Amino acid sequence: MTTATTGRTAPAGAVGTARTRVEGRAKVTGAARYAGEIPFADLAHGWLVLSTITRGRVRAVETEAVLAMPGVLAVLHHGNAPRVETDYVGMLGAPDPTAAVFQHDRVPHAGWPVALVVAETPEQAREAAESLVVRYEEEPHDIALSADRPDAYPVDGHMPAVTEKGDLEAELDAAAHVVDVEYSTPEEHHSMMEPHAATAHWDGGRLEVVDSNQGTTWVQNELAQMFSLDMSAVRVRSEHIGGGFGSKGLRVHQVSAAMAATALQRPVRVVLTRRQMFSLTGYRSPTRQRVRLGADADGRLRALEHRSVNQTSTVYEFVEPSAGVARVMYDAAAHRTVNQVIRLDVPSPTWMRAPGEAPGSFALEAALDELAERCGLDPIELRLRNEPETGPVSGLPFSSRNLAACFREGARRFGWADRDPRPGVRREGRWLLGTGTAAASFGAGALPSTALVTAEPDGTFTVRIAAADVGTGARTALTLVAADALETTTDRVRVHIGDSDFGPAGVAGGSMGTRSWAWAVNAAAAELRERLALGTGIPPEGITVRSDTTEALQSLAQKERHSFGAQFAEVAVDTGTGEIRVRRMLGIFAAGRIVNPLTARNQLLGGMAWGISMALHEEAVRDPSTGAHYAPDLAGYHVATHADVPRLEADWVDDPDPDDPVGIKGIGEIGVVGAAAAIANAVWHATGVRHRRLPIRPDRVLEAGRDV
């Protein structure tokens, strides 16, 4: 991996310099404690019991025998658990009933939480939970996702379900080249290293929750509403987080721990197992997508249709808006995008790294590659010919769109100019070799946040913000931002995060965390610096300034605001065994000002490694007859290993956001976007076979080889 970034002016302050994580030493020495290992006096342990049926009702929970087991303190279930409020609108809308547990006897999917066994030790709780007999009334289930089900319906989610302009059929009829293809992506799971874990306890009339989450004030708000408490009566802390990727919001572990802490009036910890996470903490829905492209002889698009359908549970509506990516990327006289869902007897899907863009870019960018082949055009040239001036659907100007620069720099460094476009002609021993490329985009947004910055009497500064460092280095990035805004050095800045007592702040999600928090920190620090310039001296309690970015964000002009990128991959395919090896990847991104090149590169490379995983490995298998997962653990659910991740390079072109006080856009998700398409396109270039179903497993390569 390279760290050489060329053609850039040297940074004047801390922002833009490569810094190791401020808590790095604590993490590698084990001094940093994670939610499941923070000691509490008098701690009790809860263990969840999940349904073994896929649809039906709980007829009986036979608690008596279990309550007599050693150390068992309580069994919570729908018959005795506290009632909670679910009729409210939280940050993501109505709460997912998977979190609001034990409120009724319905079982809407396999692995639904039906009871919590609380005991003195985790081992006692687990043994009792596994012994608990639950009787069910089972009903037939339906988990069959397909593109042509009549019960699919459009859902808006965080964008409109449908956009359309022009006469699609007419433009397709008039097109010189048409691509009409279907793609399928599997059920994927976040699979972060640290499982969900929370400890809840009551402290003087206040519910305290020590958790691992992507937003302490988010979880605080949800818990307050669910338990009908004042916001001030709930405190949520989350200091270190071993990854979230969209899965760590309000979940059953916090709610059930809070219920048990209330019932027992002592601290209760609930930790999920890897297997439990598969049905309790969300996932990326499988998608079925259809892309129709029509182009003139020179490759200019006349028609673009992208339709996507995903599954959601019967109790919660979540749309994976895969068709949304076309609204940003390409224009056409006739342009139609549709996101639909089907309700099935499956767990609720949720946000997972680049929701919409990750599966959507696979389909759209693979279809573009097919169109390039039909047109006899280089895939990069095809994309450059279809660069829109303004938002294809919105008509709004782009805040900045440096996709072409990414392709130019990427092509130069990858050696794209030497590429022979013919598929299936490069052989090296048993391997066929190929290269592929794809474009990437991800929205650049910001969420309202507050920050507290204090000038201490000793000349140092303390920053307090309810930010979440999900492993990305947010704490470090904010240290750099604060130091520059305060015109001081980073060693004089302490940043405290992960505590809802610091006031409302945006979540670590949607690639918006660092940008949202940096904005608030920058604003508070700037105002503090002005106050200090008055030279009135610093009292013993220091001088604290609070910022709130709500108004500043509201006054931002309407624009198409996105990060962009160009992905390149080289693969080797053995068609005799079906093995695929990615040999190298390069991602060049235009993603705003880069605060910390070291951790930014980590994050982009991590996204690209996810792309490898998405293209070749990840797939949760559901048994149609039981409706439950098959082998839901990290032996059965394959994520890329080190050996699968070869020479990866990530770099960026200059692209400061003109409307952001620090110039940030956000880099959390763009690394995965387009990566799977680049790999799939490279597999075609190697073998001449289009793989439109992910992951491209060895058996699928073998089966496809048979058809050639």
Residue 13 or 636: the one with the smaller Cβ distance to other proteins is 636
Min dist CB 580 to other proteins, Å, is: 9
- Compute and round to an integer the Cα radius of gyration of the chain: 26
Amino acid at 139: E
Min. distance of Cβ 341 from other proteins in angstroms?
Answer: 25
**241 closest CA partner among 200, 195, 282:** 195
Q: By CB under 8 A, name the binding residues for other proteins.
A: 52, 123, 126-127, 130, 275, 430, 576-579, 581, 616-617, 621, 623-626, 628, 630-631, 633, 635-636, 638, 640-644, 697-699, 702-703, 706
Shortest distance, position 625 Cβ to other proteins, whole Å? 6
Residue closer to other proteins (CB basis): 5 or 577: 577
CA–CA gap between residue 391 and residue 370 (Å, rounded):
24
- Helical residues (DSSP H) of 265-356, grouped into ranges: 274-280, 326-329
Q: Are residues 441 and 328 in contact, defined by beta-carbon separation less than 8 angstroms?
A: yes
Cβ nearer to other proteins, comparing 210 with 271: 271
Say whether 669 is catalytic: yes
Please say which residue, 345 or 409, places its beta carbon nearer to other proteins: 345
**Smallest distance from other proteins to CB 126, Å:** 5
Q: Which is nearer to other proteins, 144 or 621 (CB)?
A: 621
Q: If you write DSSP's letter for every residue of 364-429 in order, what string do you get?
A: HHHHHHHHHHHHT--HHHHHHHT--SB-TTT-PBBS---HHHHHHHHHHHHTGGG----SS--EET
Q: In whole angstroms, what is the distance from residue 220 CA to residue 180 CA?
A: 47
Cβ atoms of 103 and 84 within 8 Å: the answer is yes
Cα 468 from Cα 447, distance rounded (Å): 13
Dihedral class, residue 337 (left if φ above 0, else alpha if ψ from -120 to 50, else beta): beta
Nearest approach, Cβ of residue 570 and other proteins (Å): 15
584: three-class secondary structure by DSSP: strand
Out of 23, 171, 370, 669, pick the active-site residue.
669
CA distance 657 to 664: 6
Query: Which CB atom, from 160 or from 705, has the smaller least distance to other proteins?
Result: 705
How many CB atoms neighbour CB 57 within 10 A? 15
* Residue 16 backbone dihedrals phi, psi, to 5 degrees: 100, -5
Is the CB of 106 or the CB of 583 nearer to other proteins? 583
What is the nearest approach in angstroms of other proteins to the Cβ of residue 344? 18
Least Å distance, CB 336 to other proteins, is 35
Beta bridge partners of 585: 569, 648
Structure tokens at 629: 């997962």
Q: List active site positions.
A: 669
